[in-house]
Amino acid sequence: MDNQTQTKLWSTDFIVVSAINLFVLINYYMLLVTIGNYVVDTFAASKSIAGLVTGMMVIGCLIGRFITGFFLEMIGCKKALFVGITGFIITMGLYLTAFNLTSLILVRFISGIFVGVIGTVTGTIVVYIVPPNRRGEGISYFSLSTILATALGPFAGILLAQHVNFSVLFYFGIIIGIICLLIAYRLKANKLMINSPQKQTSKQKASWLQLSSYIEPSAVRISFIVMLVSIGYAAIQAYLSFYAQQLNLIEAASFFFAIYAVFILISRPFSGKLFDLKGENVIIYPTLTLLIIGFIVLSTAHNAWLLLLSSALIGLGFGNFQSTAQAVAVKVSPHHKVGQATSTYFILFDFGIGLGPYFMGLVIPYTGYQGLYLLCALITFLSMILYYLLHGHKKPQITVTEER
pLDDT digits (tens, 9 = 90+) for 26-72: 999 888 878 887 888 888 887 668 777 877 888 888 889 888 877 77
Residues in the chain, total = 404
Cβ pair 298, 374 in contact under 8 A: no
pLDDT, greater one: 224 or 78? 224
Q: How far is 300 from 95, CA to CA, in rounded Å?
A: 43
CA-closest candidate to residue 124, choices 320, 352, 337: 337
Q: Give yes or no for residue 193 having a pLDDT over 70.
A: no
The identity of residue 394, as a single letter, is K
Q: DSSP class of residue 12? A: H
CA 316 to each of CA 34, 57, 237, 271, 345: distance values in angstroms, whole numbers, following the listed order: 28, 28, 16, 10, 20
Mean pLDDT over each residue of the chain, to the nearest integer: 84
Q: How far is 224 from 221, CA to CA, in rounded Å?
A: 5
pLDDT tens digit string along 219-249? Answer: 999 999 999 999 998 888 778 878 888 999 9
Q: DSSP class of residue 335? A: G
CA-closest candidate to residue 118, choices 70, 81, 68: 81
pLDDT tens digit string along 114-131? Answer: 999 999 899 888 888 888
* pLDDT computed for residue 207 by the predictor: 55
Q: How far is 198 from 200, CA to CA, in rounded Å?
A: 6
Most confident of 54-58, 189-193, 295-299, 394-398: 295-299
Query: Cα 221 to the chain's mean position, in Å?
Result: 18
Instruction: Classify burial at 353, counting beta carbons within 10 Å of its beta carbon; exposed 0-12, middle 13-18, buried 19 or more.
Output: buried
Residue ranges and CATH numbers for the domains of the chain are 10-192 (1.20.1250.20), 210-393 (1.20.1250.20)
Most confident of 33-37, 65-69, 165-169, 338-342: 165-169
Name the helix (H) or strand (E) containing 9: none
Provide the pLDDT confidence category of residue 4 given band limits of 50, 70 and 90. Answer: very low
Q: How far is 115 from 65, CA to CA, in rounded Å?
A: 9
Q: How far is 175 from 120, CA to CA, in rounded Å?
A: 21
CB 368: neighbour CB atoms within 10 A? 14
pLDDT, greater one: 310 or 51? 310
Q: Give yes or no for residue 365 having a pLDDT over 70.
A: yes
Q: How far is 72 from 103, CA to CA, in rounded Å?
A: 29
Cβ pair 91, 107 in contact under 8 A: yes
Q: How far is 232 from 363, CA to CA, in rounded Å?
A: 13
Q: Give yes or no for residue 313 having a pLDDT over 90.
A: yes
Q: What percent of the chain has pLDDT over 90?
A: 39
CA-closest candidate to residue 380, choices 335, 331, 338, 325: 325
The identity of residue 293, as a single letter, is I
Neighbouring residues of 140: CB distance < 8 A, sequence distance ≥ 6 = 268, 269, 271, 272, 275, 320, 323, 324, 327
3-state helix, strand, coil in the chain (%, to 5): 85, 0, 15
Whole-model pTM? 0.76
pLDDT, greater one: 253 or 328? 328
CA-closest candidate to residue 370, choices 307, 298, 310, 314: 298
